Amino acid sequence: MTSTRRLSVGVGLLSIAVGGLLLALPALGSGLVPRAVATLLTVGVGTVAVVIAGRRLFESDEPAVRLPSPESRPRYRTPGSSFAGLLDDVSTVGRRAVDETDDWDGDGEFAPRERVSAALHDLAVAVLARTEGRDAGRAADRLANGRWTDDEDAAAFFAEGLRPPLPRRASLPWVRPELPVARRARHVVAELADRAGTDAPDPTEGGGLAATDDAETGAYWPTADLPRERSTGRTRRVTVAVLLTSAVGVVAGLPGTVLTAAFGVSLAGAARVWRPSTDLAVSRSVSTRTPAPGETVEVTVTVRNVGDSTVPDLRLLDGVPAGLGVDSGTARFATALRPGKAASTSYTVEAVPGTHRFEPPVAVVGDVAGARETVQAVESVDGPATLDCGFERRGRESEAPRPQVTLASGSRTAGVSGAGVEFDALREYRPGDPPGRIDWNHRAKTGDLATVEFEEPRRPRVVVVLDARRAAYVAETPRGVPAPRHGAAAAFAVADVLLESGVPTGLATVGATDCWLPPKTGSAHRDAVRDRLAGDRAVPWTAPSDETVVADAAADLAARLSADAQVVLVTPLCDDGGVSLARRLDAAGHSVSVVSPDCTDPSTVGGAYGHLTRRERLATLRRRGVPVRDWDPTTPISEVAHVER
């Protein structure tokens, strides 16, 4: 309690005491002021002071414990949500800019209308250049003169500038009509989607998805901060209510009212002394421990009071894995438990590929007065710790990896000099060289002994690199499966095919976690790759808190990769970082192929913008000779095992 609040409480209590004395001993107020006036003033001051002291009745002095929402997955960004947010932010601000500096907002960035214009101009130039076979300059000219489309709103966006006349009702302070810039921008996105051959969104609808621009990051389950005992603030409210009731009783001369307030004092005192039992045991059972993807799993949680005292207020929150959402039932319930008694709840989840680890249940135990509560994680759980949905096996079909690209012109397959059948080099004779490899023609011409080296065939080494950067955590819907988890299933499908063919295959992730498995073969190595990709440690369900510097990540990978290693990069290509990573690895001399899970939803304007920008990134890589497999996660995962050339 602060010094100001202590002073307020002191003044209030003193004023109420003086009021009580004036009522009990009227002679004390004679000769000063009338008794009734003195009493009302004194008690009134006390009441006001107490109310001021309790101005934070509904707040707690202790930081709140963040409890997760296990009913659904963490929230993810959707491709194009940033653009949709810009459309929503477009307003009359910046319309009357007279020079370049007026186009900037207070954060040192261009105002939303300028940023929307720049983003759409670059996208439109790329789409027109690709679909019409024009160069970028001519495409930009067509945008400027408005002849690129028959849609008047779309043509006017580039031809008439960013400050068209506003409707008259826009000047009314209580009206915010749709601005022409935002309407025209939506028509541009719809027209570009139609040009690109995708389903065009309805341009009359809003941008959509703007609320999902920020994804949840950090730890999913808050067990690191537990246990913690906290105050609910109810004791403070009871104390203020007691003081006010006593003041009313004093003013009205009702001793029974003052006596009633004593029950509140007793209740607050009991909350300070009595503590409920926190000795709990939780068990969990599931209908199946190894469900198939899409199968419904029923989970039953039972909590038992193993202490010696009653738990009057128990709220239990089961640790549903981050990748599984609750389909029916509830993962949380409230009850009261006597010693030795138990209570249960059931809910169902739909299995998705991967190994899902249950988190420790969180119990909130409150006292009988509801004044204080203890938040704790219940570690002693009987039952399965994980649900293993596994990854689909591909079988023995395979394709040869892409030929290794070198820094010199041309290409070659990976190999080493040694005993083989194809001539590779001629070197000086060394004692112990087989006589059959001595070049006797060279001996006859020069008089020196020389040994022939042949190229020894060797299978190329392949490293599957999974993009798990913060920017890669996008999903088709805010509570859907994020792209890195789709990518984990695709990465295992590729690795499984290569390992089945005897190709040494490794694994690496780019993101907050450092996962690296050097290229090897064998069933034990396959199991290690599967365990890393199926679990949630190397590829967590929540996005990393920090951004990844692509240049540093590429340099770290290049340092680990052998000279002949080929790379299969699995990335959603939802930002330019995925393109940069592929190009940097390719420039380092490693043959790079890309598998890209498509997590876009082009049905809205924002989603269509994200879909179009992703398609342009695919086209950019293909123009630079990088093979790309565009994979729809709703199709069988077996299709990603063959990377197109």
Higher-confidence residue of 641 and 131: namely: 131
Out of 3.30.420, 3.40.50, 3.40.1090, 3.30.465, the CATH code matching 461-641 is 3.40.50
pLDDT exceeds cutoff 70 at 55: no
pLDDT greater at residue 310 or residue 29 = 310
Q: For residues 104 and 106, what is the distance between their CA atoms, to the nearest angstrom?
A: 7
pLDDT at 579 over 70: yes
Averaged pLDDT of the chain: 77
Query: Looking at residues 385-408, what average pLDDT do you find?
Result: 57
H or E segment at 333?
Answer: strand 332-337
pLDDT for 406: 37
Distances (CA, A) of 46 to 20, 41, 56, 210, 540: 11, 9, 18, 51, 57
pLDDT score of 405:
41
**What's the pLDDT tens digit per position in 314-372?**
999 998 998 898 999 989 889 999 898 999 999 999 999 999 989 889 888 887 767 77
* Stronger pLDDT, 86 or 249, i.e. the higher one: 86
Cα Rg of the chain (Å, integer): 35
**Strand stretches in 460-609, DSSP E:** 461-468, 505-511, 516-520, 565-570, 592-597
The topology under which CATH files domain 232-383 is Immunoglobulin-like (2.60.40)
Higher pLDDT, 497 or 49: 497
pLDDT at 614 over 90: yes
Stronger pLDDT, 501 or 48, i.e. the higher one? 501
3-state secondary structure of 402: coil
Higher pLDDT, 171 or 482: 482
Tens-digit pLDDT profile for residues 423-436: 557 777 778 777 77
324's enclosing H/E stretch is none
More confident of the two residues 220 and 563 = 563
CA–CA separation, 258 vs 250, rounded Å?
7
pLDDT reading at 100 higher than 50: no
Torsion angle in degrees (nearest 10) through CA of 304, 306, 308, 311: -30
| Range of lowest pLDDT (123-127, 138-142, 373-377) | 373-377
Give residue 400's pLDDT. 42
Q: pLDDT tens digits for 216-259?
A: 666 677 776 777 777 766 666 666 666 666 666 655 666 666 56
Q: Percent of the chain, pLDDT > 90?
A: 30
Quick one: 516 exposed, middle or buried, by C-beta within 10 A (0-12, 13-18, 19+)? middle
Statement: the pTM of the whole predicted model exceeds 0.85 = no
Q: How many CB atoms lie within 10 A of CB 267?
A: 17
End-to-end CA distance of the chain: 70
* CA distance linking residue 571 with residue 583, whole number of Å: 13
Going 25 to 30 to 33 to 35, the CA torsion angle's sign is positive
Question: Measured between alpha carbons, how far is 573 from 350 in angstroms, rounded to an integer?
Answer: 28
Instruction: List, in sequence order, the alpha helices (H) in 160-310.
Output: 180-195, 234-252, 255-273
CB 640, CB 225: distance < 8 Å: no
Q: Please report, for the chain, the start and end positions of each structural domain, with discontinuous segments joined by +.
A: 1-55, 81-206, 232-383, 415-457, 461-641
Buried (b) or exposed (e) across 248-265, using 16+ Cβ within 10 A?
ebbbeeeeebbeebeebe
Q: Name the band, by pLDDT with cuts 50, 70 and 90, for residue 133.
A: confident
CATH topology of 232-383 equal to that of 461-641?
no
What pLDDT, on a 0 to 100 scale, did the predictor assign at position 176? 58
**For residues 550-577, b (16+ Cβ closer than 10 Å) or e, as one string?**
beebbeebbeebeebbbbbbbbbbbbeb
Instruction: Using alpha carbons only, give the angle 315, 320, 326 rounded to the nearest 5 degrees.
Output: 95
pLDDT tens digits, 444-465: 778 788 887 766 556 689 999 9
Task: Work out the average pLDDT over 62-71.
Answer: 68
**CA–CA gap between residue 303 and residue 307 (Å, rounded):** 12
